[in-house]
Chains A and B, each alone.
Chain A
Amino acid sequence: MKLTDFLRPEFCVVDLKANNKETAIRELTSVLSSSGKVNNQEDFIKHIMERERLGSTGIGNRVAIPHAPTQSVNGLVVAFGRSINGIDFQSLDGDEVNLIFLLGTNPDNLGIYLKFLASLSRLLNNLQFREEFMAADSADSIIEVLKKHEKG
């Protein structure tokens, strides 16, 4: 499974306008509407926010991975947003986040979803990967960085 099979340039926002967690989640779910896989955006947001209430998905290193299984999407959907100024995600380390990966999956696709999250988590442990993601100047560049690091 390739991460780039799911994260495509049109689902990448290189400069998020949002300045808080909820608006960032709204901005990223809205870019996924063009995927044709989101059948109820408000319900999708509701599930993502419900998951955030269990505990922040700001995992440290200025990264957040809001996610949820929901019937509001078909298959697996992934969007990426970069906030230059940083967004308060109530992260465990207290830092604001710059890199936000938003995922949603239909409950029928849990296996692929878990594998995607695990692969992404491994890449995000790599400081160089995070720095290159932060420095990329376009959606295409972001995908190129992802492809490069996926190859290992």
Chain B
Amino acid sequence: MIKNIVVSVSGSPDSLMAAKYAICLARVMQTKLFVVYVTDFKVLGELLKSRIFVEAEARAYERDLNQQGVVFLDRIKKMAESKAVACETFLLKGSVSDEVIAKVQEVSADLLVMGEMKELTSRCAIFYDEGERIFRKSPCSVVMVKNHAMVDNLYKEIE
């Protein structure tokens, strides 16, 4: 029996669809929903190391990304509440895959929902893709959400 669902969101349209689908699943299965947004410190660190960013700039991006995370999580929480789904949100920072997997383990999630992973352009991209890492490292089953129109309809159908 599924008791806890985690959905990983990034603020992208794909992750919004993942959140909608997760809300639908949580409602139908009567489970609790945990929404995780991770500010990607790994990429900021990489850009600092390569000297594309200076320290003050990286900190400014960090603040902006955190602020976007707060706004997006608030939006998802309101969406969940409007569908009578119990929802807890987490704004984390660090490596996206590490933080999402840690949260999945912490809340003993039975299911992880994530947005669609786009086709990767190179073998090298596989190495750096955080979605790919989450998918492979997750200790529980993973649902990757596709077909925005279908998800939108499903979401609207739930009272």
Enumerate chain A interface residues (CB-CB to B < 8 A): 1-2, 51, 54-55, 57, 59-60, 65, 67, 69, 92, 107-108, 110-111, 114-115, 117-119, 121-122, 125, 150-152
Contacts and interface: CB of A to CB of B under 8 A. Distances in A.
B78 to A, nearest CB: 19
Contacts, number: 59
A92 B150 CA distance: 51
Given A110-B64, A111-B12, A125-B50, 6 more contacts: A1-B121, A54-B56, A65-B52, A107-B64, A152-B122, A152-B123
A92 B51 contact: yes
A150 B56 CA distance: 30
By secondary structure, the A interface counts as helix
B152 interface: no
Nearest to A123: B124
A117 B122 contact: no
B136 interface: no
Nearest to B119: A2
B124 A114 contact: no
Interface of B: 10-12, 40, 43-44, 46-47, 50-52, 54, 56-57, 61, 64-65, 68, 118, 121-125, 128
A5 B93 CA distance: 28
Contact of A110 (B52, B61, B118): B61
Contacts of A121: 46-47, 50, 52
Nearest to A54: B54
5 contacts: A107-B64, A110-B64, A114-B43, A114-B47, A115-B43
Contact of B122 (A59, A107, A151): A151
Contacts of A110: 61, 64-65, 68
